[in-house]
Amino acid sequence: MHEILDKENMFSAIWDFPENLSDALEIGNNIKLDQEYHKIDSIVIAGMGGSAIGGDVLSILEKENINIPFIVSRGYSIPNWVNENTLVVCSSYSGNTEETLAVLDVAITKKAMICGVTTGGTLADILKKNNKDVVIIPGGLQPRAALAFSFIPITKLLQKIGILDTKIDIWLPNIIKSLTDSRKINSLDSSQNPTFELANQIYDKIPIIYSDNSSMSIAALRLKGQICENSKMLSYHNDLPELNHNEIVGWENNSALFNHLFVLWLSDRSDNKRVKIRQEITQTILNEKKVDQFVIEMTGNNFQDRFLNMINYGDWLSYWCAIAHKTDPSPVKNIARLKKELAGIV
C-alpha cells in the first residue's frame, strides 16, 4: 500500500540516509575556503526547520569538541552580542528561507564572519556577491530529508576553519554500515518491523516525546518535527529534568484526554544517572494515570551511532504513521500555503 500512497517517494529519501551521509562527508572533505577566518570566539548557526536541525545535531554529536559559545538561531534575528569575531553559518536548503536571509543581512551589518550551506537560491547569490564561502549541496529533496547534507558540511566547515577538532571521518563509516543493516528491518510493512508496529499503536493518538536534555533531546525534537510533517499529526516534546519542574503537574486534570495521548521515552545509556531515576518515577506516575508509554533505546558502541540510529528510527516511525493514516508523507500543504500568503505581504 505504501508505494501507492507515497507519490513523492519519501520512502527512498529515508532509505537513502546512509548513502546521503557518505555523499555529504565527501562534499565536506572537498570544501575549499576562499576567505580568511580569524579570532572566532562564538558560533551562530542560522536556519529554520530541517536546515536548523543540522546545527542541533552537530551540537550534540560534537559536544565534547565545541570549546566556544555555540547556538542555533531560529528566527529573523541573531543575538546582540554577534560581532566581527562571531562566525555565522547560514543554513537554508532552498536558499530562499526568509528568516535566514534576514539574519544574513543583520550578520553583514554586524561585520560577522559569514559562510553558508545551501542548494542555491538567493542565499548562494548574496554570499557569492559578498565573497563569502558557500557550500553547495544536492537539491531535489524535502529539506527535512536532507539532514545529512546539513550537519556534515557544517561540521567539516568548522573543522577546515580550524575551530572544531572533529573525528567524524573515523566514526561515521561504521554508523553508515549499521544504518544500512537496520533499514532492512525498519523498511518492512509488517510486524517484523518495530517502527511499523509502534506506528500502528500511536498513529491515532498525540505523541508526547520525552528525553534527557543532555542526550536524546535533539532526537526528540527531530522526531516531533517528523511526526508533524511526515505523519501530518500533532506531536510535542519536552526534556528531563525540566519537565519535572512544571509539566509533570499537568498530568492531573483533563484526565479524559489521556487516552488520546501516547508518551514516547527516548532513552540512552549515557543519560544522566539522576535523570534515569527521574524517568522511572515519572513513568510510575503516568502508569498510575493509565497513560500509554513506550521506551525507545538504541544499541551501539558509541553515542554517535546510537543517536543517528535513533534519528533514522524516528524517521521510519513517522513514515509508517503517515501510511497508517493513508496519507502521502511528502506534501506540506500548510507550509506551502503560508509561504504563498507571506509572499504577497511586504
Residues belonging to the active site? 229, 245, 339
Beta bridge partners of 46: 73, 90
The sheet that has 236-240: what strands, in order across it? 236-240, 206-212, 261-267, 292-297
Are 180 and 309 contacting, i.e. CB atoms less than 8 angstroms apart? Answer: no
How far, in Å, CA of 79 to CA of 281, rounded? 38
Determine which helix (DSSP H) or strand (DSSP E) holds 42, and give its type and residue range: strand 42-46
How far does the chain reach from its first CA to its final CA, in angstroms?
44
- Cell numbers at residue 119, please? 542548494
- Omega of the bond prior to 241 within 30 degrees of 0, cis? yes
Amino acid at 88: V
Phi (first) and psi of residue 213, to 5 degrees? -70, -10
How far, in Å, CA of 224 to CA of 241, rounded? 19
Determine which helix (DSSP H) or strand (DSSP E) holds 251, and give its type and residue range: none
